[in-house]
A = this chain, B = another copy of it.
Amino acid sequence: MTLSELTHSTGEWLRGVGSYSDVVISSRIRLARNLASMPFLSTATVEERTNIYQTLAKAIGEVSNGSNALLIDIENAEAIDRHLLVERHLISRQHAVAEGSRGVSISPTETLALMINEEDHLRIQALRSGLQLEDAWSEVNEVDDKIGKNLTYAFDQQFGFLTVCPTNVGTGIRVSVMVHLPALKLTKEIERVDRAARDMRLAVRGMYGEGTEAVGDLYQISNQTTLGRHEEEIIDDFSGKIIPRIAEYELTARDSLAKHRGAQVDDKIWRAYGALANARCISSEETLNLLSAIRMGIHMGRLDLIDIPKLNEIFLFTQPAHMQKRHGAPLTGEERAVKRADYIRKQMVA
C-alpha cells in the first residue's frame, strides 16, 4: 500500500454504516501508552526520541506482520502527505506539524492507526463509521495486548498507565464520536448538547479535534478524563447513553423542522445542492457547510439526487491536501477553489 492509493478511497470511517449512521459519522478509540524504559517526550533527548521511534516501529512491524500495514516516517514526509493524513483522521494536527522523529503505522483499511511519538510514545487508534465503539475497542485492545507482550509500558499500580497529560492517566483511553448536528444548529438547540456534555464531563470539539472550530455542523464528542473508570464503563456510557441521547435530540429537531418549517428546511437543503452543482469556485469550508445541509436532506428523505457514499467522497476528496495529492502538483488556494468546484460539479451530475 502507498499513500497515493489512499486518495482514491474514502476509508472505513466514511462508509456511512453503523448504528445511528444518520447522525453519527464515525467512532474512534485511542489508547495512550509510554515505554517504561524511556523518558516522556517532554524531557527526552533527540537520541532518545529516535530510539523510541525505532523501538516502537519494530514492535509494530512484528505485531502487524503480514497485514500489509504502511509505516510512514512523518518527520521526513512531505507536508502534503502529512496534511493528507490529518484530513483522513489518521494522525492529529499536532503530529503533522511537530518536529523530530515520529511516525504512524496505518492498516490497509485505515481502521487502525498507530502514532509514534505524538504526545505520548504510542497512541493506538481504531476508527469505525457510525456508532461502533465496541468494534473499535476490541481492535485497539487486541493491538495493545500484543505490543504490551513484547514491550513494557509505563504503568503504576495506583494510577494505571502513565501519560504526559494528566487527563490521559489511568486507562489512557479517549473515546471520540463524530456527530452531525445540523438540525440542532438550525434550531439553535446546539447549546443544550454543549451544556449536557459539560455536565457529563465530556469535551465537544470541531472535526479535527482539539482547538478546531466546528465546520459543517460536525462535532466530536469525547471523554475528558480516564482515571478511576474502566474502559468498558466509558464505552458503554457512550454507546448506551450519551450518543443515543444526542442522536435522539438531533432526530427530534429534524422531525420538528420537517413538521413546522418544511419550506425553509427544503430551501436550505436544495439551495446547498444548487450551489454545489453550479459553483465555479468554492472553498473547502463552504463545501463542508453545503454538504452538511445535503447530508441532512438525504437523511430526512427530502433530497435523493445524491447518496451518502458519493457525498462522503466529495466530503473527503475536496479537502486541500486531497485536492493537491489527486492533482499531482501543488495548487494555490484559488486554483484549488476552481478545481474543487469542477470536481464537485462532475460528481453531482454523475
Q: Is A280 a contact partner of B275 (Cβ separation < 8 A)?
A: no
A281 contact set on B, CB distance < 8 A: 263-264, 267
> Does A338 reach chain B (CB closer than 8 Å)?
yes
Q: Considering the complex, which residues of chain A in the window 274-290 have a beta carbon less than 8 Å from any beta carbon of chain B?
A: 274-282
Q: What are 25 A-B pairs with beta-carbon distances under 8 A?
A: A263-B280, A263-B281, A263-B334, A263-B337, A263-B338, A266-B280, A267-B280, A267-B281, A267-B282, A267-B341, A270-B278, A270-B279, A270-B280, A271-B275, A271-B278, A271-B279, A271-B280, A273-B274, A273-B278, A274-B274, A274-B277, A274-B278, A274-B279, A275-B275, A277-B278
A273 to B334 alpha-carbon distance, docked (Å): 22
A280 contact set on B, CB distance < 8 A: 263-264, 266-267, 270-271
Of all chain B residues, which has the CB nearest A335? Answer: B263
A266 to B280 alpha-carbon distance, docked (Å): 6
Complex copy number for this chain: 2
Among B264, B266, B274, B341, which residue has its beta carbon within 8 angstroms of that of A275? B274
Q: Considering the complex, which residues of chain A in the window 223-281 have a beta carbon less than 8 Å from any beta carbon of chain B?
A: 263-264, 266-267, 270-271, 273-281
The distance from the CB of A84 to the nearest CB of chain B, in whole angstroms, is: 25
Q: A interface vs B, CB < 8 Å?
A: 263-264, 266-267, 270-271, 273-282, 334, 337-338, 341
Of all chain B residues, which has the CB nearest A338? Answer: B263
A275 contact set on B, CB distance < 8 A: 271, 274-275
Please give 7 more A-B residue pairs, beta carbons under 8 A apart, in addition to A270-B278, A271-B278: A263-B337, A267-B282, A267-B341, A270-B280, A273-B274, A274-B278, A274-B279
Of all chain B residues, which has the CB nearest A269? Answer: B280
Among B263, B273, B279, which residue has its beta carbon within 8 angstroms of that of A267? B279
The distance from the CB of A202 to the nearest CB of chain B, in whole angstroms, is: 36
Of all chain B residues, which has the CB nearest A264? Answer: B281
- Pick the most buried of A277, A278, A338: most chain B CB atoms within 10 A of its CB: A278
A212 to B16 alpha-carbon distance, docked (Å): 52
A264 contact set on B, CB distance < 8 A: 280-281
The distance from the CB of A298 to the nearest CB of chain B, in whole angstroms, is: 15
Of all chain B residues, which has the CB nearest A282? Answer: B267
A277 contact set on B, CB distance < 8 A: 274, 278
A270 to B282 alpha-carbon distance, docked (Å): 12
A341 to B282 alpha-carbon distance, docked (Å): 24
The distance from the CB of A256 to the nearest CB of chain B, in whole angstroms, is: 18
The distance from the CB of A69 to the nearest CB of chain B, in whole angstroms, is: 42
A338 to B337 alpha-carbon distance, docked (Å): 32
A273 to B279 alpha-carbon distance, docked (Å): 10
The distance from the CB of A134 to the nearest CB of chain B, in whole angstroms, is: 41
Of all chain B residues, which has the CB nearest A303? Answer: B278
Of all chain B residues, which has the CB nearest A278? Answer: B274
The distance from the CB of A6 to the nearest CB of chain B, in whole angstroms, is: 29
Of all chain B residues, which has the CB nearest A276? Answer: B274
A337 to B261 alpha-carbon distance, docked (Å): 13
A273 to B275 alpha-carbon distance, docked (Å): 9
A270 contact set on B, CB distance < 8 A: 278-280
Of all chain B residues, which has the CB nearest A268? Answer: B280
